[in-house]
Amino acid sequence: MEPLSGTKRLKFALLLGTLAAMGPLTIDMYLPSFPTIVYAFDTTASYVQVSLTACLLGIGLGQLIVGPMSDVRGRKKPLLVSLIVYFIASLFCVFAPSIGFFIAARFIQGLAASAGIVLSRAIVRDVYSGRELTKFFALLMLINNLAPILAPVLGGGILAFTDWSGIFTVLSAIGLLLFIIVLWRLDETLPEQMRVPSSLSATLKNFLSLLKSRQFMGFALAQGFIMAGIFAYVAGTPFVYQNIYGVSPQTFSLLFGMNGLGLILGAQVVGRLSGIVSEKRFLEIGLFISVLSGALLLLAVLLNGPLVTIVVPIFFFVASIGVISTSSFSLAMESQGHIAGSASALLGLLPFVLGAITAPLVGIGGEETAIPMGVIIFVSGLIAVLSYAGLARNTIKEN
């Protein structure tokens, strides 16, 4: 498939951005309903956060499966199968009779949603490289980052008319619609002559080569630990904002969605200035912002500061992801065109595995404290900086 331009390029980005947004939609849309799900299943906040952990594990594991599979089978067929599974799993969530069944359905839903995330990135690498890869990925991020803004707002709006199950009904409809669009509008981007052999040993060899690459792992771990902090924020803020600071589900949705503006701003700055400022420099700037904002957030929660002292540093922490994810993706994927699916899978796996660990930890102090969330966000940013500095910083020249 040849690189696109003009209107076709925008439509292509819109489709891929929507597919990539399946992760944020699946994770974020039901966040405003956390307290009502606790009541509906007569369970605890920790169990509801486990449903988020199950989804994150599914997304991480699914990328590990779908990415290498797409290097063998192509991008389109695995994507279509995953979208059908997503549709069914979303309906399972709607009709879940217990919290245990709901958690299991969320795992399957996350497993299926992973295809949109990993294959959208692999498709981009199939079509673009170099500066064009960075610029197109920034455009992809612009569309993708609308999801964190719209998802919780949409979820809060749905709750104004129905209960939490309505959110998963909408998600099932999105899965079905995307299946139809991909079936009719998306061409295969990985020709047969570019595919890798179908064998477990070849797959393991690809992953081993990635794990041995200090440069690739430096970028992957930096992005992964920053995202672990983001998932701590995702799991913690529904209770911190609503239980501690007493905001409504609709106000929470607006506060949560506001951070998506920071994501968009960060990604677009990288895309617009990629020919002037190097991706390496952007990555270092983003990591600095994440650590500084994490430190300010931790100080605010330790001092029981007012809501604004929580909201502002979280905004800048989330905004740093727009810079970090765009620049680190381009740097990590540039030399991995021959195994783009596997590289995309590993890049996608780490954030969700680490996020699955941090998400339930924010609830260990109960529903009335924000300290665990503040600690995890700060420590995640600090480890991300150390990972980049120790593994990747000195392996690439500025351009």
In a domain, 243, yes or no: yes
Mean pLDDT within 299-308: 92
CATH number at residue 373: 1.20.1250.20
In a domain, 50, yes or no: yes
In a domain, 315, yes or no: yes
Convert the pLDDT of each residue in 176-189 to its tens digit: 999 999 999 888 88
User: CA-to-CA distance for 350 and 256, rounded, in angstroms?
Assistant: 23
Confidence of residue 71 (pLDDT cuts 50, 70, 90): confident
Mean pLDDT within 60-81: 88
Q: Which domain holds residue 151?
A: 6-189+197-395
**pLDDT in the model for residue 394:** 72
Instruction: Give the lowest-confidence range in 303-307, 308-312, 326-330.
Output: 326-330
In a domain, 1, yes or no: no
Confidence of residue 399 (pLDDT cuts 50, 70, 90): very low
In a domain, 323, yes or no: yes
* pTM of this structure: 0.71
Instruction: Give the lowest-confidence range in 148-162, 191-205, 281-295.
Output: 191-205
SS3 annotation, the chain = CCCCCHHHHHHHHHHHHHHHCHHHHHHHCCHHHHHHHHHHCCCCHHHHHHHHHHHHHHHHHHHHHHHHHHHHHCCHHHHHHHHHHHHHHHHHHHCCCCHHHHHHHHHHHHHHHHHHHHHHHHHHHHHCCHHHHHHHHHHHHHHHCHHHHHHHHHHHHHHCCCCCHHHHHHHHHHHHHHHHHHHHHCCCCCCHHHCCCCCHHHHHHHHHHHHHCHHHHHHHHHHHHHHHHHHHHHHHHHHHHHHHCCCCHHHHHHHHHHHHHHHHHHHHHHHHHCCCCCHHHHHHHHHHHHHHHHHHHHHHHHCCCCHHHHHHHHHHHHHHHHHHHHHHHHHHHCCCHHHHHHHHHHHHHHHHHHHHHHHHHCCCCCCCCCHHHHHHHHHHHHHHHHHHHHHHHHHCCCC
Query: Which structure tokens are listed for 125?
Result: 């690498």
Convert the pLDDT of each residue in 125-158 to its tens digit: 788 877 777 777 777 777 766 776 778 778 888 9
Q: Could you tell me what percent of the chain has a pLDDT over 90?
A: 32
- 8 A C-beta contact, residue 280 and residue 144: no
Q: Could you tell me what percent of the chain has a pLDDT over 70?
A: 93
Mean pLDDT within 86-106: 96
The domain total for the chain is 1
Mean pLDDT within 269-278: 77
**pLDDT in the model for residue 114:** 92
Average pLDDT, the chain: 85
